[in-house]
Amino acid sequence: MTLAIIGGTGLTQISDLDITGQQTLDTPYGKPSADYVFGEMNGKKLIFLARHGNPHRIPPHKINYRANIWGLKQLGVTDIVAVAAVGGIAKQMAPGHLAIPDQIIDYSYGREHTFFADNLEHVNHIDFSEPYSALLRKRIIQAAHNADIMITASGTYGCTQGPRLETIAEIRRMAQDKCDLVGMTGMPEASLARELEINYANLSVVANWGAGIVPGEITMAEIEKNLQVGMSKAIALLQAITLLPDLTLV
């Protein structure tokens, strides 16, 4: 198993990662968001990629998702834990909380969303009934239990276009669609990983309530404050994942 961590808003680097090197890659789909960082955590080797670049400068709809995932495949990655800052819709998804969604609805548009687009010998269709790796999700949930970190172990992630936040009506529609979380980067990241047969799971860090869930406007100050709390829990969970006794990282 070769593990990669993709960091989202609030996680452009991991202070507890002992960095051993980094690599710039060119792919058939252009440049990835940032250099791939190699490091060790609890004696286990892994690869880190800042989804929005480092420093954080690439908005969700401009991320080169295909280059990011292709580069990880080139580096031999078999499993990805994708950390993402999200908004909470369901009542249990309060700011600062962690969730491991098991389903996704894609509301984004205009993104390069597949490797199966050009020069094909035949049309390719992937099974996406279960968009996240069941085994990898199980490992994350077990790690949270071992470390006594409170999580919600399921839920539906709704992926919007961004970079603006959603309207009250849009969040109301997503709630009617049974979305528990709203984010901007969950797709096509998950489906691209599936196309390349990489196990992929999402670690959602709730940064704010979705529009209209509670009174008042959503501010960046509020988001940043909640992310400080949530990301510290996320990093603790990532550490716990590397401590799993049956987890061999190479």
Known binding positions: 9, 51-52, 184-185
Helix 220-242 × helix 134-146 angle, to 10°: 90
Distance CA 207, CA 171 (A): 15
What tokens were used for 77? Answer: 């990655």
Report which of 213, 239, 246 is spatially closest to residue 41, judged by C-alpha positions. 239
What tokens were used for 28? Answer: 């058939």
Q: Which residues are annotated as a binding site for substrate?
A: 184
Instruction: For the chain, report the end-to-end CA distance as a whole number of angstroms.
Output: 6
Distance CA 223, CA 192 (A): 28
Task: Count the Cβ atoms, other than its own, within 10 Å of residue 217.
Answer: 7
Q: Which residues are annotated as a binding site for phosphate?
A: 9, 51-52, 185
| Contact assessment for residue 50 and residue 12, using Cβ atoms and an 8 Å cutoff | yes
Burial class (CB in 10 A: 0-12, 13-18, 19+), 215: exposed
Amino acid at 149: I
Distance CA 216, CA 200 (A): 35
